[in-house]
Structure 1
Amino acid sequence: MSKPVVAIVGRPNVGKSTLFNTLAGERISIVKDTPGVTRDRIYADVTWLNYNFTLIDTGGIEPESGDVILSQMREQAEIAIATADVIMFITDVRQGLQDADSKVADMLRRSKKPVVLVVNKVDSFEKYMADVYEFYNLGIGDPHPVSASSMLGLGDMLDEVVKNFPEGAGLEEEDERPKVAIIGKPNVGKSSLINRLAQEDRVIVSDVAGTTRDAIDTDIKYNGKEYVFIDTAGLRRKNKIKEEIERYSIIRAVTAVEKSDVVIIVIDATEGVTEQDAKIAGIAHERGKGIIIAVNKWDAIEKDNTTVKKHTEKIRQILSFMPYAEILFISVKSGQRVNKLFDLIDVVIENNSMRVQTGVLNEIVAEAVAMQQPPSDKGKRLKIYYITQVAVKPPTFVIFVNDKELMHFSYTRYLENRIRDTFGFRGTALKFIIRERKEDK
């Protein structure tokens, strides 16, 4: 199931972040607690009616001069056009229609992507409606008057956004082929990896070009089975500052991860795991995807018989929030172990969608509880009544207990490890939901 992506574009001070934060609500706090996940809010999960989508803030603009603003807005629009299913173009009723708005509107119109035009800061519909109509001149459809700070008009705007989702997006998909996102910082060898995987078998079924020259899904057949690889090679521009490149690669990563079943995080063996690798890995972890860490350029490392062990320990230490991830040392250049990726992808997908019978789960938990007493507080001990699996991708379990407060993170982790001892679940996160049940039931 792939979630639609909605991107926000607009000039400085039109209220983009206010709108972003209002729509993201408190759900965004999940992002803060996950190690390695970006602290600056670039993306958030939003639910409207029965639709779930990912909202992306394409970036802040430094208001220096008109020219700079326009070039940065064009950049935002390019990112949005490349990654989003629907674009929200935010304008400001009080500043009125500006030259930069018109130029960006032209660009968005040519992209043929659905655009929802939002006119913000309309605190009173009576007072401002005449000014809202001015925005019809942009030629990208009806302006939707809202006030992000007073939360007016948001429902109608969201109705319009979800109307534009691709057919069946946010609902189950027909395409059964495994979708694999290849993510990582710029220049770690993501595109070369896809080329290598494709060339070895010489059956690129087709190159489905995305909206721009750089969003490409490649179909690859291996041992008679088809896979779709999603590449996140970004816009390569020489004079970009580091933060922008980083922000952009994170936006691309979120989009690719959202569409995939399995994520391959490519890391440069000569550099080890960097902070940006950890951020990007955190996104895949938070999304509950199957995860493989491919350590590329392994041919460039001087080796003795402890090299693999040392590197593995180092990776595990930095990416300690995903101890389940599979690690594979490869060299795209020489082709070493690259084809092993296909076997791993199969294993990880199988684990990510594995179901365990309730009876068996409860036996494992009963045994685990007998071996290690649940925690207690002020004389009250945690009781675990029952566990059942409620979802796959990622495997999700509900544990019924007498008191949620007593269920410490460490005890949940202990139970997770016992379940993993039995079923493996290699390469996939497991999700646990703790529910309280009153004693008398």
Structure 2
Amino acid sequence: SQIRDKAKEAAEKADILLFILDGKRDLLPPEEELYFSLKKLNKLIFVIVNKVDSLSDEDKLGDHYRLGEGRIFAISAEHKRNLEFLKSSLLEVIPSSVQEEKEPEPLKIAIVGRINVGKSSIVNRLCGEERLIVSEIPGTTRDSTDTLIFRNKKAFCLVDTAGIRKLGRTRDKREKAGIIKAKKSIVRTDVICLIMDAQEFPTRQDSAIAHLSHESGKPLMIVLNKWDLIRKETGTSEDFKEQ
């Protein structure tokens, strides 16, 4: 699948892998298969079982202990259980020279816009590779995804967000959570890049997103995607400026 392929691509570029499992259910065959395929990369793997809220939950873990070769951590991100132990274990394997390096914070750019205007496709183009999954199906991106790129020896963090639409228009809980995170992304980034579909005139939702950006006090760039699909000499550019 695309998700599995992306996971392997990311693993090949990493030095340490954090393999995260759901402690509320049994180990699934595809998870076990993915783990052993990652082992072939000869990378250091930390197996992290999340949602383990207590010692009794930890005692119920069975198949999970077949993985990890001693580096298995039963944690609860929600309740912050064993997070400090995980952090200290990670610091033990990270060279001190790397820990001491203090790189300047990358400029964070939020990529926001309505459903299916091509946000992920633009991020992939800027990266020069297929980092994010794109699809003709609206709403493929349901969460905010940070992607680090470098230009002229400077780092930029592109935050691809879930497509924003009115909360009342979706019943999908995961999509609602993604929309909330998209709004939070606007707060935590330095520049807002509003992607719009050049085939459509600005909508009320575009204006609402621009208003969110304006309220944040962050610089706003407006990018018209799919411009190549517009017939030339139609005055579209001037019409957009007026809108």
What TM-score comes out, normalization by structure 2 length?
Answer: 0.50
Q: Which protein has the larger Cα radius of gyration, Structure 1 or Structure 2?
A: 1
What TM-score comes out, normalization by structure 1 length?
Answer: 0.32
